[in-house]
Amino acid sequence: MRLDFSNPGKKWKLYASLLSDQKELGLPFPREWTHENFKLPPNWREIFLKNMESVLKKYRSVRLFMDLCVHCGACADKCPFFLATRDPHNMPVARQDLFRSVYKKFFDASGKLLGTTAGAVKDLDEKVVDDWYTYFYQCSECRRCGVFCPYGIDTAEITIAAREVLLSIGLSTKSTTQSINKCEFIGNHLGIPPAAMANSLEFMEEELREEGWDVEIPLNKKGAEILFVTPSADYFGDPHWYTMKGYVKLFHVLDLDYTLSTYASEGGNFGLFLSYEHMKKINAKIYKEAKRLGVKWILGGECGHMYRVVHNFMGSIHEEPPDFLEEPVSPITGTKFKNAVSTKMVHICEFTADLIKHGKLKLDPSKNDQYVVTYHDSCNPARAMGLIEEPRYILRHVCNHYVELDPSVNRERTICCTAGGGLLTDECLELRYQAIKPKIDAIKRSGANFLALICAIDKAAFPTYMRHYKLPIRVGGVHELVGNALVPP
Amino acid sequence: MDPWAFFVGDVLSYIAVIVFVIGVLARVGKWLSVPVPLKVPLTPGPTTYPGVVIRLAKEVFLFRSLFKGEKKLWVGAWTFHIFLLTTLIIHVINLLYHDLWSVIGYGWYEFAGYTGIILFGALVFLLARRITAQHMRYLSKLPDYFILILLMAIVFMGNYIRSFSGVDVKQVSAWLYSLIALHPIPPPSDPYFLTHVLLAELLIMYIPFSKIMHFIGIFVSPTRNQRNDGRMRRHRNPWNFPVKIMSWDEYWAKFGDQLRGIEGENEGEAREEQKSLTGDKSGVGG
Ligand code: SF4
Ligand code: SF4
């Protein structure tokens, strides 16, 4: 395995957060800083170590993974960012070692005794901070490494912890905090105010009417049975737009009593890429709005990192269980979603797959005959939820030509879109072009001309990759294809 | 009595066991004292505990994830661990229940003699891999080499004793039983044997401070021992803290004009509700 000791990863450092975002979000030590000059507070070492100790006491995963890794190297070539850069620090184990080496120096006997020979850092200086900032923001938190590790050591856990520590000395990235700010104070990552959202949905209604679908999209409707929450890109972005049309067509043929919301107009959660606090803040809006609107349960649209929070975290980050909601039941099939009885939030693919299974949808898969469809497993649905079969089940029913990708980059072994974890930003685009290469090659080999996926970040990232690699492959959501195949009532 | 034999055989052996037991308990205790605030199972995450047990068994006995990860290393690591296990079992039978061989069959006794050589071979492979592969050289630190070399020395000594140095198994057995009975007698004074024992004791004492703790850590790893039931059951985060988010009131103050168009007739109602929500402390996320 070839390594490049010139550390090419250093070329891609994410931009510093804007001062205004830092201030409005109340982040520590708001200031304008650059990669050359972090302008750290004078006692930053103390703060750094205090927060490091705090994450070591908060997350058993982090504490355990410090001791557990045997440096076997099985994870080394599993990270797309390592494969792209050959930068030694981008091997998952070496990424952890950036954290582990400080741990050894200050929190572990072996490092205190033996120093660098035992893998401890020489000193906690700004070089360490620079390494952390570079490489912990060169991890998409995709967890691919953890799948292959004999002990399930999940580098994303370390990345999340490291980012908390970086934040404590006032280091965060521009694109992430910008989106968080908009989400917390306007309602969604894109910063779409209520009127613009309403306009956009009206525009969609018109478009659909022209296509012969007399659809109405309810917004902020009190007393609806279901609150539908989806990433804001779905009603503003391309190709997300077509997925959104798929949802509303589906709800229309079902005559579903649902509503969208302006206050909870974001399913995604960029807070996840910054800190526990902001992840919780963004997620909390969903329940708050569900309560205000008086819905029975919540349905979530296609999104990857959204479900990392919804599926893994939503059940423990809130003080009270959402008792004002009811256990989710499909009003069409009567199916009880037993997998979501606690959080009361169902994935759209679970919902649709259940409909198909019960024969409740009139589908004409030949409507998608112009496509040879393949499916990209987004990292979070595949590795955090285990949502692997449902989308495939749906695809096989809504199109006639479906092919799988190479097993080495498929299902839980998927190579992520490489734009998650706060990396959906142009300053690292060149890096992502390289990192996504193994996936692109697999897609090319599959012979597909439609790449189906269930994630808003994927939908933003892949069309750019397709243009870069000059591939005439359309990118779209699973529910775009569902929408195509639906027979109008 | 040979003081060196007494020290290695009768003093250090007790110290090693004590250091091992206390050290391991302390290390595991340290891990367990840290909470698991969130659900983080990795696919394939079973939703039940029996499922978790099966999953862990596959990891422990078959190294399933490593098999997915790197086949060559899997062969080396699995061979090493399996033959380490058989070697330990053979030690127990040989030294504590020697009569069992008559039940098992002496053919197996002969065969068992060669497994130590395979064990040594596996260690050579693991060390060679660390040295020859560029990324492994980069990743390996002193402790990684130390453990391998220590193990190689122990296994080498073991093989040597077995083949060339005629230590009487009965004597060793008597010594071990005396240790267990807390009435220690001196061990055989063969220098090769004493070196073997000494190195093994060093290893045992080093375990709690080393990565060898993975033999317990593998069961503690949250990505592998959790049920994939994040939406099914509530999970408690002991250090959870409330957060303040934009209230409907604040939201209305900012976007009232726009919201009036959307909420329409509901507007008055919305205002009223906002009042009751402000006073609502039970609300999710504050
Ligand atoms: S989580 Fe993904 S991006 Fe991060 S180190 Fe592991 S494989 Fe690389
Ligand atoms: S696979 Fe796991 S144990 Fe091996 S080096 Fe990577 S993190 Fe460490």
The one-letter code for the residue type at A393 is Y
pLDDT of residue B264: 60
* pTM, 2 dp: 0.94
Q: Model confidence over B119-145: pLDDT tens digits?
A: 999 999 999 999 999 999 999 999 999
Average pLDDT over residues B83-96: 94
| Residue contact A311–B263, C-beta within 8 A | no
CA of residue B266 to ligand 1 center, whole Å: 47
pLDDT of residue B101 exceeding 50, the answer is yes
Cα A327 to Cα A344: distance, rounded to the nearest angstrom: 6
Average pLDDT over residues A237-263: 97
pLDDT of residue B286: 33
More confident residue, B283 or B97: B97
pLDDT of residue B284: 39
Q: Model confidence over A124-144: pLDDT tens digits?
A: 999 999 999 999 999 999 999
- Where, residue-wise, is CATH 1.10.1060 in chain A? 8-172
Cα A322 to Cα A155: distance, rounded to the nearest angstrom: 31
The one-letter code for the residue type at A177 is T
| Residue contact B223–A61, C-beta within 8 A | yes
> In Å, what is the CA distance from B124 to each residue of A72, B155, B156, B284?
15, 11, 11, 57
For domain B3-225, give the fold.
Fumarate Reductase Cytochrome B subunit (1.20.950)
pLDDT of residue B163: 85
Phi/psi for A277 (5° steps) reads -60, -50
CA of residue A139 to ligand 1 center, whole Å: 5
Per DSSP, the three-state class of B155 is helix
CB atoms under 10 Å from CB of B10, counted, come to 17
Q: Model confidence over A435-477: pLDDT tens digits?
A: 999 999 999 999 999 999 999 999 999 999 999 999 999 999 9
Confidence of residue B111 (pLDDT cuts 50, 70, 90): confident
Cα B286 to Cα B271: distance, rounded to the nearest angstrom: 19
CATH code, residues A365-485 = 3.40.50
Residue of B nearest to A322 (CA): B284
CB atoms under 10 Å from CB of A106, counted, come to 17
| Residue contact A315–B47, C-beta within 8 A | no
pLDDT of residue B276: 46
Over pLDDT 70: what percentage of chain B? 92
Query: Angle, to 10 degrees, between the axis of helix A92-107 and the axis of helix A44-58?
Result: 110
Q: Model confidence over A356-408: pLDDT tens digits?
A: 999 999 999 999 999 999 999 999 999 999 999 999 999 999 999 999 999 99
pLDDT of residue B167: 87
Q: Model confidence over B210-229: pLDDT tens digits?
A: 999 999 999 999 999 999 99
CA of residue A459 to ligand 1 center, whole Å: 20
Confidence of residue B110 (pLDDT cuts 50, 70, 90): confident
Confidence of residue B281 (pLDDT cuts 50, 70, 90): very low
Out of A74-88, A191-205, A216-230, B157-171, pick the least confident: B157-171
Architecture label for domain A8-172: Orthogonal Bundle (1.10)
Mean pLDDT of chain A: 97
Average pLDDT over residues A419-438: 97
- With a CB-CB cutoff of 8 Å, which residues 145-204 of chain B face chain A? none
What is the CA angle B247-A422-A198, rounded to 5?
Answer: 45
> In Å, what is the CA distance from A449 to each residue of A2, A375, A389, B149, B216?
33, 11, 21, 54, 48
CB B161 within 8 A of CB B190: yes
The one-letter code for the residue type at A329 is V
- Where, residue-wise, is CATH 3.40.50 in chain A? 365-485
| Residue contact B142–A60, C-beta within 8 A | no
Per DSSP, the three-state class of A237 is coil
Domain boundaries, chain B: 3-225, 244-286
pLDDT of residue B2: 87
Q: Model confidence over A18-56: pLDDT tens digits?
A: 999 999 999 999 999 999 999 999 999 999 999 999 999
What torsion do the CA atoms of B80, B84, B86, B90 make, to the nearest 10 degrees?
150
Average pLDDT over residues B259-282: 55
Its sign, for the CA torsion A367, A370, A375, A381, is negative
Average pLDDT over residues A77-96: 98
Residue with the smallest CA separation from ligand 2 atom 8 is: A69
Interface contacts A/B by beta carbons within 8 Å: 280
